[in-house]
Amino acid sequence: MRQRTEAPERRRGDLLDAALAIVLDKGVAGLTVDEVAARADVAKGTFYLYFRSKEQLIGALQDRFVGDLTALQQAELDQLRAGDWMGRLLLWMESSLRGYLAHAQLHDALFHHPRAGRGEDSRHRHEADPTINPHAATLVDILEAGTATGDFALTAPRTAAVLLYSAMHGTAHYLVEHGEAETDLVETVIAESLNMCRRYVGRT
């Protein structure tokens, strides 16, 4: 066990990394505080300096998953020219689908287990609610801006964001559940999803 002093954020990151490895290996059901502490090479008491419970740890893993996805997506969005709201919408949809499919095992382990979103803060970080999900907030920002400039013919951008977010998630989950995430069907589905976005938002 390590005795040296480490920065709190690094120690917290070590605990999250250890928990992530366990989730990928055993699922959330196999996650225990004892094993997280052992894999992170810290005392069990140290764990409780950073997380009150296993549920709070899972919530932190969910937040990190969504945060990482959002940051990668934002870096791609930043490469587009200013004011290209249709381009941003299409990129959001495509990168969301590909990101979900690329990390489906981890995503489903974190968000689709019996206690997902039912921890101490009772939030479900997978909801299409921009107040708790930064990934959804990015979509809302795109739709509101595109509507304000007249690029989109929407009367309720936030409602549209819920519908498009749900369509994205449902489509990706269907592909994973039916074992079709590694076939040519993925490209067909992504292309049709982008066409759906174009038709749905319309143009004034």
C-alpha 148, offset from chain centre: 27
Residues 104 and 22 in one domain: no
Residue range of the domain that includes 75: 55-201
Q: Do 71 and 5 have their domain in common?
A: no
pLDDT of residue 139: 96
Q: Taking residues 138-148, what's their average pLDDT?
A: 96
- Of residues 100, 104, 15, the one with CA closest to residue 60: 15
Q: What is the model's pLDDT at position 9?
A: 82
Percent of the chain with pLDDT over 70: 87
Torsion of Cα atoms, 130 then 134 then 136 then 137, to 10° = 60
| Residue 120, pLDDT above cutoff 70 | no
Is it the case that residue 3 has pLDDT exceeding 70?
no
Is the same domain home to 139 and 155? Answer: yes
Same domain, yes or no: 87 and 146: yes
Q: Are residues 87 and 35 in the same domain?
A: no
Long-range contacts of 129-135 (CB under 8 A, 24+ apart): 130/158, 130/161, 133/66, 134/66, 134/67, 134/70, 135/66, 135/69, 135/70, 135/73, 135/96
Q: What integer pLDDT is reported at residue 123 of this predicted model?
A: 46
CA 157 to chain centroid: 21
Q: What is the mean pLDDT of residues 123-139?
A: 78
Same domain, 106 and 40: no
Do 62 and 28 fall within a single domain? no
CATH code, 69: 1.10.357
Count of alpha carbons within 13 angstroms of residue 150, beta-carbon side: 1
Choosing from 31, 51, 71, the residue where a domain stops is 51
Give residue 115's pLDDT.
54
Residue 141 predicted with pLDDT over 80: yes
Q: What's the total number of domains in the chain? A: 2
Report how far apart, in Å, the C-alpha atoms of 13 and of each of 25, 40, 64, 132, 162 are: 18, 9, 10, 22, 32
Indicate whether 42 and 82 sit together in one domain: no
**Do both 164 and 177 map to the same domain?**
yes
Average pLDDT over residues 42-65: 92
CATH of the domain at 5: 1.10.10.60
Number of other residues whose CB lies within 10 A of the CB of residue 24? 12
Structure tokens that stand for 153 in this block:
């013919």
